[in-house]
Amino acid sequence: MQAIAEAIGQLPVHVYERGEDGAWHAAFGKSIHELAV
């Protein structure tokens, strides 16, 4: 079970934010704080 959890933990996580135009855009170079506000 631990091996599975460690393997999943190594997968990349892509973060997106909704832009003013309503479309989703990749949130490159943003901190978590900027996305949460």
- Tell me the pLDDT of the chain (37 aa) as tens digits: 999 999 999 988 888 888 899 999 888 776 767 666 6
Amino acid 13 reads V
DSSP state of 24: E
pLDDT of residue 28: 79
pLDDT of residue 16: 86
DSSP state of 28: T
Residue extents of the structural domains in the chain? 1-35
CA dihedral 31, 34, 25, 23 (to 10 degrees): 170
Report pTM.
0.42
Q: Which two tokens stand for residue 29?
A: 């170079």
